[in-house]
Amino acid sequence: MAEIKLSAEQRTEFGKGAARRIRREDKVPAVLYEHGNDPLHVTLPGHETMMALKTANALLSIELDSKSHLAIPKQVQRDPLKGFIEHVDLLMVKRGEKVVVDVAISIVGEPEPGVLVVTENTTVSLEAEATHIPTEIEVSIVGREAGTQVLASDLDLPEGSTLAVEEDLMIVNLTHAPTADQVEAELDEAAAEAGIEYDESETPEPESANG
């Protein structure tokens, strides 16, 4: 993964008021954490940081006071309505250092007709070198049959990465797609549990698989 350079400035103002002023200047308040050292409080450029963090587990080169610090995102706080970045926690790393990160699962292909694909886990925890963190792990379901289960141990991991979860963690489960009668029965059961009674003419029709 290529390093993304971000220029940082040390900050001495803290609190909600200071954070709002920083964001009004199109900057992002951030904290750099390093094992055994006090955290560094900095500001990062708003637009560049937003673009950099679109990549999961981005490897950042933080330029601060003529020094360069390698870091990966630890926690990103976003505004729940507008989506802009409110605050970033970064973890400083070293080349060759192993870190545990959550990596996205990407489902590729189509199973046999009539098979329902259930993604049980959208990410998997891996231990990988900080400078070689995979962006995603692909899982091919091309032509897979109902009853197939993909476990963490079945994942094709890149060289240098190892599982940081139990090997029997379910990633993808392929089952028979429910029939229209089964869907209707489930709707009736749910309505009965909720105390809803339908006239014959009001009974909801199950949606088809094609919408």
Say if residues 90 and 58 touch (Cβ distance below 8 Å).
Answer: no
SS3 sequence of 185-205: HHHHHHHHHCCCCCCHHHCCC
**Separation between Cα atoms, residue 103 and residue 96, nearest integer Å:** 18
> Tens-of-pLDDT digits for all 211 residues of the chain?
678 999 999 987 777 888 888 888 889 999 999 888 889 999 999 999 999 998 889 999 999 988 899 999 999 989 888 888 889 999 999 988 899 999 999 999 999 998 999 999 999 999 999 989 998 999 999 999 999 999 999 999 998 899 999 999 999 999 988 777 766 777 777 777 787 766 555 555 555 555 4
Model pTM greater than 0.75?
A: no
Kindly list the structural domains of the chain, giving each domain's residue range(s) and its CATH number in brackets, ordered by start: 4-93 (2.40.240.10), 100-176 (2.170.120.20)
Please name the amino acid found at residue 192. A
Maximum alpha-carbon separation in the chain? 75
Say if residues 155 and 169 touch (Cβ distance below 8 Å).
Answer: no
